[in-house]
Amino acid sequence: MGWCAVGEIWTGALNDAYAVGGSVGLYDTTLRDGEQTVGVVLDPEQKLEIAKLLDELGIDRIEAGFPRVSQDDWNAVKLVSEAGLRAQVWGFSRAVPADLEALVELGVPASVIESPISDLKLNAIGVSREKMLERITGAMRFADEHGILAAFFGVDSTRAEPDFYELVYKSAVEAGAREVVVVDTLGIASPEAVADLVGRTVEWVGPDVPVHFHGHNDFGLATASAVAAVRSGATWVQGTINGMGERAGNANLGEVALTLRALYGVESNVKLERIRDVSARVQALSGYALEPWKPVTGETLFRRESGAVASQFHDPPSIEPYSSDLVATERGIVLGKKSGLDSIRIKAEELGLDVPEDRYAEVLARVKELGTRKRGLVTDDEFRGLVHG
């Protein structure tokens, strides 16, 4: 049995040959990129509440927002940066003087500084490569001169022309960027391509410049790409709670943290036992619904309806890849069309009902009939009624 087949994680030894080990930093951009989810508006006090939750969760860096977007965003950045959090608070800026001056005025000690670098983006905004490179290096010098820890963020970098990408990232570091971010803005890169680009970036910027990965989920690969980035030397993963964000969203930091720990032996400071509570609160404040089968935080992850699975319910490793205790939630049997005899036994014991074994088949038939008729689950109260009726 491998290192990941014991304790609270039951994945067996298959992944052992691919273990990475070590640790990774998690950078949360829920308050900025996450709020770009269509229809989501968070006021400064709500952002402060989320920032405090992120801090308690163990997130290392919190991006407080883009102060020049609006007065509300300015106020939110100010509130979060002055909250005395353990996490390092970051800002977000374009490579334009007014944005950078706002960071200085607010006293934000660190910031992502973005600029588009793909020809598709540059042509869309009518700026030449040469002009954009000039803006980038000027912004990095400004940040360095004003004591701002700057991470260069090349928008749409996974679609940038390779030679220009290399020139931009090297030039940004030479001009004062102390960290860099590989950015899959539209989620178009396969994990293999991310691994290659991150690996080359690590080589180009040198061992003293941390490399981040910022990925989107348009093809459902954000977590896989984040893992690929870490395997290739990225030391920071950027993402959001619940994978919030534009279009298909960002990398989901809860999924990334669990996947890296359980499958690759890469640790982070995230307290997984708090992730579901934080997820639920951010969801409530944002006003959207989550898929119930979502990894890590989904409400059906540890609820079982299938009779075949219920027969093994007493042995969690046989039906689950990791313990419910790892993410601090409860296991449970629910009843419906797909229930079996063991489902009846377990639910009766759970509710303290005296149901003789020779009645299991009869009660099961009633449960199946009601579940089919309702096209849904049989509640505990309905089950009591079926037992006593």
pLDDT at 7: 82
Q: What is the pTM of this model?
A: 0.94
Q: Tell whether the model's pLDDT for residue 3 goes beyond 70.
A: no
324-352: b (≥16 Cβ within 10 Å) or e: eebbebeeebbbbbbbbebbbbbbbeeee
Q: Which amino acid is at 105?
A: E
Q: Rounded mean pLDDT of 365-386?
A: 96
Integer Rg of the chain from CA: 24
pLDDT at 380: 96
Give the CATH number of domain 3-286.
3.20.20.70
pLDDT at 234: 98
Cα–Cα distance between 15 and 321 in angstroms, integer? 13
Instruction: Report yes or no: 319 and 312 within 8 Å, Cβ to Cβ.
Output: yes
pLDDT at 223: 98
Q: Tell whether the model's pLDDT for residue 206 goes beyond 80.
A: yes
**What DSSP state is assigned to residue 243?**
G
| Residues 340-366: tens digit of each pLDDT | 999 999 999 999 999 999 999 999 999
Q: Tell whether the model's pLDDT for residue 36 goes beyond 90.
A: yes
pLDDT at 5: 39
Q: Rounded mean pLDDT of 322-339?
A: 96
pLDDT at 1: 30
Q: Could you tell me where the DSSP H helices lie in the chain? A: 44-57, 71-81, 97-106, 119-125, 129-145, 162-175, 191-205, 222-231, 253-264, 275-286, 307-310, 316-319, 341-351, 360-374, 380-388
pLDDT band at 4 (very low <50, low <70, confident <90, very high): very low
Q: Rounded mean pLDDT of 286-291?
A: 94
Structure tokens at 276: 């579901």
pLDDT at 389: 78
| Residues 134-148: tens digit of each pLDDT | 999 999 999 999 999
* Residue extents of the structural domains in the chain: 3-286, 303-388
